[in-house]
Homo-oligomer: A and B are copies of this chain.
Amino acid sequence: MTYCVGIMSRHGIVMASDSRTNAGYDQVNVSRKMHTFVQPGERALFLLTSGSLSLSQSVITLLREDFDRGAGLAAAGTMYEAVRVVGDKVRAVAELDREALERDEFRFNLHVLVGGQIRGEPPDLYIVYPQGNPLRATEDSPYLQIGECKYGRPILDRGVRFHQTTLEEAAKYAVLSLDSTMRSNLTVGPPIDLLVYPSDTLDVTRYRRFLPSDPDLQDIRGRWERTLQKGVSELPEIQFTPPDG
């Protein structure tokens, strides 16, 4: 399983991903799910992938080949064109592998989050579905998730606001959302990759990888648990009424 989240605020984009892959219960490995396509000063695109690792590797490999020769993501003039490039590669890999997978009852389950900015355009955040079509984050729905989404969603719903949330806060929300998911689902696991993209920087300037033993991650987790426990104890006591049936 996987959990990745992208948060868009008026100050930029935050992307975060776990790194656990598993085939069944026993083939558990670490694999980076965050992929950057950067021409400093020109464009900075960040892709997070969920679904079968074989499929996401194929998509990233094909995108990278084009990018390295100045085509595909290197040539897209807008973020919308860029996500269409990603969608085309998803469809190309579906053409290659989908029939064979489905014959053995594997699903073609590849999802891609695409965040970033191309010079002259505002930053943007999209999800690309297994069918290749894109969906854009909006001011009302400023975050997008792929993979094991549910555990990490309440903290985002309670706090992330496009206009109010700073990038520094969005980074903390992303880490808390990842950490909540890792806590409740064993198939989502560290390291956590975290990338914070301030608008108009057009490069990777703030990146952090949290290993499982990372003292900062332990510190965040400990402080957060104490915050929640203190918050609960400070809520007013619930008043009870006589039973009505």
Contacts and interface: CB of A to CB of B under 8 A. Distances in A.
Interface stretch (A109-117, A121-129, A131-139, A217-225): A217-225
A31 interface: no
Nearest to A148: B150
User: How many copies of the shown chain assemble into the complex?
Assistant: 2
A184 interface: yes
A219 to B, nearest CB: 7
B151 A208 contact: no
Count chain B CB atoms within 10 A of each CB in A171, A205, A228 and give the residue with the most.
Answer: A228
Given A231-B227, A238-B216, A154 B171 contact: no
Interface residues of A, number: 54
A77 interface: no
A186 interface: no
Contact of A228 (B152, B159, B237): B159
B223 A235 contact: yes
Given A153-B184, A241-B209, A225 B168 contact: no
5 contacts: A151-B154, A154-B183, A158-B225, A159-B225, A196-B238
Interface stretch (A52-60, A82-90, A173-181): A173-181
Contact of A224 (B150, B151, B229, B235): B235
Given A207-B240, A238-B216, A241-B207, A233 B153 contact: no
Given A238-B194, A240-B208, A241-B207, A232 B154 contact: no
B150 A184 contact: yes
Given A184-B153, A237-B168, A232 B194 contact: no
Secondary structure class of chain A's binding surface, majority of residues: helix
A140 to B, nearest CB: 15
Nearest to A207: B243
A30 interface: no
Contacts of A158: 180, 183, 224-225, 228-229
A163 interface: no
Contacts of A205: 240
A208 B238 contact: yes
A89 B237 CA distance: 37
B183 A157 contact: yes
Given A159-B229, A184-B154, A229-B158, A236 B219 contact: yes
B155 A228 contact: yes
